[in-house]
């Protein structure tokens, strides 16, 4: 009987201890709920992002940059898909496809907001990814645009059949990082006179490899005034076509912009192809759609030398170059000297629609630049040109 009483007493204490544990767990849960629902308003965007990153740190080992060897176009033709995109090493891994867009002043520009809606809806309509793959949408934004994007994106991507994540980058923070790298080149390729601090953000692609995390291997940078007519995943397959020395994929400019800009160099070098139309000329580049091989950009000694102020100044003087289109001008200029750094995209990946130069002195040669044979994958409504309806 004494043993029975001792056993009953112990069981009662254990029961009390378990009840005490339950109370503690309930209190902890309530504290978490109170933090997120009542305390989150006091958290700024940076601290919130930091907290999310910390809580996800244990999962980062399972996140890979995209496996670009998998082409869904071929898989669909073969009647396969889905599990073909998984990495089978005993752990579930995400394969990330990174796309970045400039996303500022949307609250003040209704036209830009409309373009953004067209771009996102068309991306959602045509986008297809394999199981385990995630499209990561990076937006460089100010606070007002970020707030607007947070509201709009779930609605615009509601029909997306693929998984996606959204990351907002503060434009001021990025500008601060970029300015020391690109300050010297701004005076050659900016609309204003002098190197304005705010202009730095228009050179983001030039120094993207020094800004993004080192474990990010590829990213595509896109203008907002685009309309997708294809699966955005197919665009990433163009990385597989890069030759050994190529670091950037970009389409040629489809107007005689650089025929005009390089007029003095062309006059002094009449046999040069600089500024001439394709297929034999060098018409320059358009930065509306760009594939940045960040890994190759970091590894290329040639590309990084070309970022040095004295090299930029020397080339600008050699070509008598003064532009106003930011990164596009820089890539065009170094492309004249080092075409091996670029993989030239087919015009259908950046089907530019602007015809401004046709009506401003270049009507006779305009079609030599503007024509585009082959399928159109992405329309680019540059200079506010209406995009055709499907």
pLDDT for 262-295, tens place per residue? 999 999 999 999 999 999 999 999 999 999 999 9
Residue 268: its pLDDT value, please? 97
* Residue 161 belongs to some domain of the structure: yes
Q: Is pLDDT at 111 greater than 80 in this prediction? A: yes
- Considering the domain boundaries, does residue 299 fall inside one? yes
**Burial of residue 341 (number of CB atoms within 10 Å: 0-12, 13-18, 19+):** buried
Spatial distance between the Cα atoms of 138 and 170, rounded to a whole number of angstroms: 11
Summarised one tens digit per residue, pLDDT across range 49-84 is 333 344 344 344 456 888 888 886 765 444 333 322
| 280 within domain boundaries | yes
Residue 37 lies in a domain: no
Instruction: Specify the 3-state DSSP secondary structure of 70.
Output: coil
User: What is the SS3 assignment for 42?
Assistant: helix
Q: Which pLDDT value is given to residue 192?
A: 63
- Give the number of C-alpha atoms closer than 13 A to the C-alpha of residue 387, restricted to the C-beta side: 24
Tell me if 264 is assigned to some domain.
Answer: yes
Residue 157: give its domain's CATH number. Answer: 3.90.550.10
Residue 66 lies in a domain: no
In a domain, 29, yes or no: no
If you ran DSSP here, which 8-state letter would residue 38 be given? I
Q: Cα(47)–Cα(45) distance, rounded to whole angstroms?
A: 6
Cα distance between residue 112 and residue 105, in whole Å = 8
Residue 81 lies in a domain: no
Q: pLDDT (tens digit, 9 = 90+) per residue, 226-242?
A: 999 999 999 999 999 99
CA–CA distance, 386 with 247 (Å, rounded to integer): 32
Expressed as residue numbers, the domain containing 153 is 91-384
CB of 82 closer than 8 Å to CB of 248: no
How many domains does the chain fold into?
1
Neighbouring CB atoms inside 10 A of 347's CB total: 20
């Amino acid at each position: 009987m004494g043993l029975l009483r001792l056993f009953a007493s112990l069981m009662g204490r254990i029961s009390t201890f378990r009840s005490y544990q339950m109370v503690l767990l309930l209190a902890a849960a309530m504290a978490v709920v109170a933090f997120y629902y009542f305390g989150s308003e006091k958290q700024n965007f940076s601290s919130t992002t930091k907290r999310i990153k910390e809580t996800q740190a244990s999962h980062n080992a399972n996140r890979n940059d995209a496996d670009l060897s998998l082409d869904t176009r071929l898989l669909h033709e073969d009647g396969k898909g889905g599990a073909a995109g998984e990495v089978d090493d005993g752990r579930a891994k995400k394969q990330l496809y990174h796309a970045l867009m400039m996303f500022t002043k949307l609250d003040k520009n209704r036209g830009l907001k409309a373009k953004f809606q067209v771009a996102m809806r068309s991306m959602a309509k045509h986008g297809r990814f394999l199981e385990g793959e995630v499209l990561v949408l990076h937006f460089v934004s100010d606070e007002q645009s970020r707030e607007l994007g947070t509201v709009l994106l779930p609605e615009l991507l509601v029909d997306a059949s693929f998984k996606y994540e959204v990351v907002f980058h503060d434009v001021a923070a990025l500008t601060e990082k970029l300015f020391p790298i690109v300050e010297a080149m701004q005076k050659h390729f900016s609309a204003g006179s002098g190197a304005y601090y705010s202009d730095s953000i228009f050179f983001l692609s030039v120094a993207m490899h020094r800004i993004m995390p080192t474990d990010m291997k590829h990213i595509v940078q896109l203008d907002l005034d685009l309309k997708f007519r294809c699966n955005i995943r197919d665009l990433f397959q163009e990385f597989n076509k890069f030759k050994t020395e190529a670091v950037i994929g970009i389409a040629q400019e489809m107007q005689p912009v650089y025929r005009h800009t390089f007029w003095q160099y062309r006059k002094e070098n009449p046999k040069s192809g600089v500024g001439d139309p394709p297929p034999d000329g060098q018409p320059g580049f358009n930065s509306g759609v760009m594939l940045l091989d960040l890994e190759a950009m970091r590894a290329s000694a040639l590309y990084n030398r070309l970022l040095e102020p004295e090299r930029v100044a020397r080339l600008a003087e050699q070509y008598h170059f003064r532009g106003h289109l930011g990164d596009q001008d820089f890539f065009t200029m170094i492309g004249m000297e080092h075409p091996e750094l670029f993989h030239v995209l087919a015009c259908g990946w950046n089907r530019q629609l602007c015809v401004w130069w046709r009506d401003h002195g270049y009507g006779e040669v305009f079609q030599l630049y503007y024509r585009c044979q082959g399928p159109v994958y992405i329309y680019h409504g540059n200079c506010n040109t209406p995009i055709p309806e499907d």
